[in-house]
Amino acid sequence: MTIKIDLETGEISAQQADISEALLPAEDKSENFNKTSDSCKGGNDGSVATVLLSTFIVVLGSLEFGYSVGYSSPAQSAMIEDLGLTVSQYSTFGSLLTIGAMIGAITSGRIADCMGRKGALRVASASYIIGWLVIIFSKVALSLDIGRLIAGYGVGVTSYTVPVYIAEITPKNLRGALTNTNQLSITSGILVVYLLGMLVSWRLLAILGLVPCALLLMGLFFIPESPRWLAKVGREKEFEVALQALRGKECDVSAEAAEIKEYVEELESLPKGRLLDLFQRKYAYHMIVGVGLMVFQQASGINAVMFYASTIFKACGFNSDNAASVSVAALQVPMTALGVLLMDKTGRRPLLMVSGGGVAIGCFMVGSSFYMQEHESFAHLRVLTSLLALSGLLVYIAMFSLGTGGIPWIIMSEIFPINMKGVAGSLVTLVAWFGSWVVTITFNSLLSWSASGSFFIFGAAGTCSVLFVAKLVPETKGKTLEEIQTSFQTYFTKRTPKARNVLH
């Protein structure tokens, strides 16, 4: 059913769709999409090939993201010995990636809006390259810190730009799976750097870090810019060429092009998106969903678990740092791949709820193990408690990778209107990295206070995330980005009786 919304006033015509369309993972086959799909017969092979090629190239940035995040773990011992660093100096080196990522997150939206999605990825690539070169030639702690900070900036820009670009170029029936390859590439990058770290020196490991970003820089010359961004900035000829390239030469893209243009024309009447605009009531629901998912993602403790996996394994009675790191990273990759396969079949909401529930169960298992280890009455069960902790940790990693790790980034790339996407995406990405920093910096203190209590807190966050998704997060599977905006406006108006007046 057609819905017409005045984006300036928030008025919705009488022919509104039932909000169940936004919430249920039902099959969504809009009339325009069916027409477009029918007209693409014979052109789908070319379409899929171009979309897949574009996705493969941009997720090299995500691979670099994961490589950069994971680098500090295998490099630690050798770097401290070679350069005579203290543990405190190395901790500063490791943490500066998160600070750089927060700075990158703040600027990523504006860069992507001004320079385009490809332009932003070029900035991120240059940041990675400069950061790695500084680290490679470093002989003192200060230059190491500067290099890590610069590389972290690239991580922040990448974490916003890659999922947004993929979401904007893919057809709606493939968008979930392909956007989630962003998370798959991040986990693959972590696994690669852990494995290479067992074989090569820390300087050579840094040199190898140049490879993905160099390939990304070259690959960007062979893929189209986001058609939605081109339409937004008024480059209509390039918009049509890019959309045709992505959908195939034989595909009639007139219906999709008209839908995108109509949506962009409606947005042109609105003022340019500013940070303060996000606090208007008409964007409240978008922000609650986007920020809420990132808060629960980080509150579930993933960065504490990843950064301190070896510490947790030692507390469980396992002494091999390499075994801890590699086993965690190796489990992430297949579970994230499973999430990619399920994304457009089950929908976002079911995967998020199953994942959040699994995260909670894993945390409660680890917390229970530590609780028993803290009490002498369970001393005779030491082997059992260690196995319980290990099993809980693996359950946690597996279930987090299935959905909680990647889906919030997918939904972030889908839900914001294009005029607000840059500033809103920057804010949401900043929240994610700030949450990562808070959890990472406080985890040692939490662990000293109570190891069991730490994981019970993470488990409670996982449980709350299930309730949050069930009550507030709409299903975006099978909808174009324009249809998602319509469903969000409809949902907000129906849930808020006075919204019609507020939005005026």
Q: What is the pLDDT of residues 72-104, one digit of tens each?
A: 888 888 899 999 998 888 888 988 999 999 999
Q: Tell me which of 446 and 167 has the higher pLDDT.
A: 167
Give the per-residue pLDDT at 100.
Answer: 94
Burial zone of 221 (CB within 10 Å; 0-12 exposed, 13-18 middle, 19+ buried): exposed
Give the other-Cβ count within 10 Å of 229's Cβ.
27
Q: Are 406 and 183 in contact (CB under 8 A)?
A: yes
**Backbone phi and psi for residue 473, each to the nearest 5 degrees, phi listed first:** -90, 120
E strands present in 53-115: none
Give the per-residue pLDDT at 45.
Answer: 46
233 has a pLDDT exceeding 50: yes
Q: What is the pLDDT of residues 140-189, one digit of tens each?
A: 999 999 999 999 999 999 999 999 999 999 988 888 889 889 999 999 99
- Identify the bridge partners of residue 68 per DSSP, sorted by sequence position: none
Give the per-residue pLDDT at 17.
Answer: 36
Q: Which two tokens stand for residue 172?
A: 């709606």
Nearest-5° Cα angle at 456, 454 to 459: 115
Give the other-Cβ count within 10 Å of 23's Cβ.
16
Q: Are 454 and 462 in contact (CB under 8 A)?
A: no
Give the per-residue pLDDT at 176.
Answer: 85
Give the per-residue pLDDT at 40.
Answer: 57
**Residue in 181, 230, 102, 220 with CA at minimum distance from that of residue 409:** 181
**Residue in 129, 128, 133 with CA at minimum distance from that of residue 152:** 128
23 has a pLDDT exceeding 60: no
31 has a pLDDT exceeding 80: no
Residues in the chain: 504
Q: Are 64 and 189 in contact (CB under 8 A)?
A: yes
Q: Tell me which of 448 and 9 has the higher pLDDT.
A: 448
d(CA 461, CA 487): 28
343 has a pLDDT exceeding 90: no
**Backbone phi and psi for residue 420, each to the nearest 5 degrees, phi listed first:** -110, 0
pTM over 0.75: yes
Q: What is the pLDDT of residues 459-500, one digit of tens each?
A: 999 999 999 999 988 888 888 877 887 777 666 566 555 444
Share of the chain above pLDDT 70, in %: 82
Q: What is the pLDDT of residues 383-422, one digit of tens each?
A: 787 788 888 888 999 999 998 988 998 888 888 887 788 8
37 has a pLDDT exceeding 70: no
Q: Positive or negative, the Cα torsion across 30, 20, 416, 299?
A: negative
- Identify the bridge partners of residue 12 per DSSP, sorted by sequence position: 5
Cα-based distances in Å from 52 to 166, 467, 497: 10, 35, 43
330 has a pLDDT exceeding 90: no
Q: Tell me which of 268 and 59 has the higher pLDDT.
A: 59
